[in-house]
Structure 1
Amino acid sequence: MNMARILTLAALLVALATPATGGAGMDAGSVVLGRWAVTGTADAQETTSLSSDDVDKLVGANFVVTPESVQFADEKCDKPVFKLTRHSTAGFFRREYRLDPRNMRLPDPVTEVAIVCLAPSPISFVYVRDKRHIVFFWRGFFLNAEKLGEKGLPRKVH
C-alpha cells in the first residue's frame, strides 16, 4: 500500500471513531457541566424580553448545569438533552441572530451546546469561549459566565 492510501485510510478511521456530536469522544453536556457565575452581558438581539437594566442585575447570578437539570434565574430545565455542534462564528451569528459576534470574543469555529428541555424553556444555547468561560443565550441576551470552583469562587488560573 502506498503512503497516500495509508494516510487516507487513517483519516477515515479517525473520522469514523469521532462521534457525530463533534465532541471527539466527549459527552456534549460535559463541556458545560458545573456552576457558572454571570459576569456581564456579551451582546443582545435587537428585540428582547427584558431591559438592559434588568439583565445588569443578573451579574453574579449562578447558571447551574447538571446532567439532571439546568437552572438560571427562576427557571429550570428538567432532563436536558445536550447537542454539541461547531459553527463558523461570524457567519453563524449573522445568519442565526442577525448580529456581529466580535464583542463576544468567541473562538472560530465556535462550539455550541444546544440544550433541549423536557418542557419549553428560555435556557437554550451555550457557546464555549474556553474551559473557564462561556456565553449563554437567555431571553434575547448573550451573557458571559465564568466557571466557579467547588467553594463557589472563580477557579484559579494556573
Structure 2
Amino acid sequence: MKRILLSIFLLNAAAGACAGTVGASLIGHWKVTGVVGAQETTSLSSDQADALAGKELVVAADSIQFNGDACVNPAPKATRHSRDQFFWREYKLDPKELPLPGTVTEFKTNCANLSSINFIYVRDRRQIVFFWKGFFLNAVKQT
C-alpha cells in the first residue's frame, strides 16, 4: 500500500514539476516497443510506424529527440485527464485500446521550434506513450 501511495505521489509531483524544464521522471532514454494506437489520418503508413520499434526517444532538460526530429527548449505543461473522455474528444479514438491509466498525465511539450514531438502520456514509472505523426508509440525507459 505504501508503494502505491508513493507512486501516486511521485506521479503527481512529476506532473507539477515542469514549470520550465521537462519533468524529472521523463528525462532519459526511452526505447519504442511498438504502436499502441493511431488517429484516422496519419503522416506515416502503418508499416513505417511499425518500423519505429527499437528506436530511441531521448528526453533531456533542453531537448527531446526522436527519429531525426528534435524539440528544442521544451516548456512542457502537465495536465491530468480522464482517459476515456479526453482521447475520444481530442483524437476521435477509442481510448480502451491505449494502455494508459483511467486518469492520465499528459505532458504537452511546447517546443521552441516546429516539431512532431507534441504530447507524452505517462503510463507508469517505466513506460510512456507518446504521440508522433498520428501514432501513439509505447516506450520503455532504459537503464
Q: TM-score, normalised by structure 2?
A: 0.85
Deviation at 1:120, TM superposition (A): 1.4
| Structure 1 counterpart of 2:24, from 25, 30, 53 | 30
Q: 1:143 to 1:25 in 2, by over 3 A?
A: closer
Farther off after superposition, 102-111 or 44-53: 102-111
Distance 1:105 1:142 in 2: 10
Runs of 4+ displaced beyond 3 Å: 22-26
Deviation at 1:23, TM superposition (A): 3.6
8 A contact 1:23–1:84 mirrored in 2: no
Matched residue of 2:116: which SS?
Answer: coil
Deviations, residues 60-114 of structure 1 (Å, cap 9, x unaligned): 0000000010000011111111111000110000000001111112111100011
Taking every aligned residue pair, what percent have the same amino acid on both sides? Answer: 52
- The answer to whether structure 1 residue 120 and structure 2 residue 110 are counterparts is no
Measured on the aligned residues, the alpha-carbon RMSD in Å equals: 1.4
8 A contact 2:15–2:78 mirrored in 1: no
8 A contact 1:32–1:65 mirrored in 2: yes
Tell me the residue number matched to 1:49.
Answer: 43
Deviation at 1:26, TM superposition (A): 4.8
- The structure that has the greater radius of gyration is 1
Distance 2:133 2:15 in 1: 31
Tell me the residue number matched to 1:107.
Answer: 101
- Structure with the bigger RCO (C-alpha within 8 Å, sep 6+) is 2
Q: Give the letter aligned to residue 120 of structure 1.
A: L
Distance 2:15 2:115 in 1: 28
Q: Give the letter aligned to residue 37 of structure 2.
A: D
Distance 1:48 1:26 in 2: 31
Tell me the residue number matched to 1:71.
Answer: 65
Query: How many residues get paired?
Result: 128
8 A contact 1:36–1:62 mirrored in 2: yes
- The answer to whether structure 1 residue 131 and structure 2 residue 121 are counterparts is no
Q: TM-score, normalised by structure 1?
A: 0.77
